Amino acid sequence: MEVIKLRDEYIKLGQALKAAGLVESGVEAKDVIVDGLVKVNGEVETQRGKKLHVGDKVEFDGEVISIED
Protein backbone atom coordinates (compact mmCIF):
# COMPACT_ATOMS: atom_id res chain seq x y z
CA MET A 1 0.00 0.00 0.00
CA GLU A 2 1.29 3.42 -0.99
CA VAL A 3 0.80 6.23 1.54
CA ILE A 4 0.43 9.86 0.52
CA LYS A 5 0.86 12.43 3.27
CA LEU A 6 -1.22 15.55 2.76
CA ARG A 7 0.50 18.92 2.92
CA ASP A 8 -2.75 20.76 2.32
CA GLU A 9 -6.41 20.06 3.09
CA TYR A 10 -6.77 17.73 0.07
CA ILE A 11 -5.08 16.31 -3.03
CA LYS A 12 -6.82 15.79 -6.35
CA LEU A 13 -7.24 12.25 -7.64
CA GLY A 14 -5.08 12.72 -10.74
CA GLN A 15 -2.29 14.23 -8.65
CA ALA A 16 -2.46 11.34 -6.18
CA LEU A 17 -2.05 8.76 -8.94
CA LYS A 18 1.00 10.63 -10.23
CA ALA A 19 2.48 11.14 -6.74
CA ALA A 20 2.17 7.41 -6.05
CA GLY A 21 3.93 6.60 -9.32
CA LEU A 22 0.98 4.64 -10.68
CA VAL A 23 0.77 6.77 -13.84
CA GLU A 24 3.43 8.66 -15.79
CA SER A 25 1.53 11.85 -16.59
CA GLY A 26 -1.60 13.87 -16.06
CA VAL A 27 -2.87 12.70 -19.45
CA GLU A 28 -2.47 9.05 -18.43
CA ALA A 29 -4.20 9.79 -15.10
CA LYS A 30 -7.11 11.40 -16.93
CA ASP A 31 -7.44 8.44 -19.28
CA VAL A 32 -7.53 5.74 -16.58
CA ILE A 33 -9.95 7.78 -14.45
CA VAL A 34 -12.34 8.57 -17.32
CA ASP A 35 -12.22 4.89 -18.39
CA GLY A 36 -13.58 3.92 -14.94
CA LEU A 37 -10.44 2.04 -13.84
CA VAL A 38 -10.01 3.91 -10.55
CA LYS A 39 -11.99 3.45 -7.34
CA VAL A 40 -12.18 5.85 -4.40
CA ASN A 41 -13.41 4.28 -1.17
CA GLY A 42 -14.72 1.28 -3.13
CA GLU A 43 -16.71 3.28 -5.69
CA VAL A 44 -15.69 3.90 -9.32
CA GLU A 45 -14.67 7.55 -9.69
CA THR A 46 -14.58 9.29 -13.08
CA GLN A 47 -13.71 12.84 -11.97
CA ARG A 48 -10.01 13.58 -12.25
CA GLY A 49 -10.40 16.60 -9.97
CA LYS A 50 -12.06 14.60 -7.17
CA LYS A 51 -10.70 15.96 -3.88
CA LEU A 52 -9.20 13.31 -1.62
CA HIS A 53 -9.01 13.86 2.11
CA VAL A 54 -7.42 12.07 5.07
CA GLY A 55 -8.79 8.54 5.33
CA ASP A 56 -9.64 8.12 1.64
CA LYS A 57 -8.44 5.00 -0.17
CA VAL A 58 -7.75 4.86 -3.91
CA GLU A 59 -7.56 1.60 -5.85
CA PHE A 60 -5.98 1.26 -9.30
CA ASP A 61 -4.31 -1.62 -11.13
CA GLY A 62 -4.17 -3.81 -8.03
CA GLU A 63 -2.56 -1.07 -5.94
CA VAL A 64 -4.04 0.86 -3.02
CA ILE A 65 -3.16 4.44 -2.08
CA SER A 66 -3.99 5.62 1.44
CA ILE A 67 -4.38 9.34 2.09
CA GLU A 68 -3.00 10.32 5.50
CA ASP A 69 -2.00 13.47 7.37
Q: Residue 7 pairs with which residues in a beta bridge?
A: none
User: Which pTM value belongs to this model?
Assistant: 0.93
pLDDT band at 15 (very low <50, low <70, confident <90, very high): very high
Q: Domain 2-68 carries which CATH code?
A: 3.10.290.10
Q: Do the beta carbons of residue 6 and residue 69 sit within 8 Å?
A: yes
- Percentage of residues in the chain with pLDDT exceeding 90? 97
- pLDDT value of residue 33: 98
Domain boundaries, the chain: 2-68
Residues 6+ apart with CB under 8 A from 29: 13, 14, 15, 17, 18, 23, 48
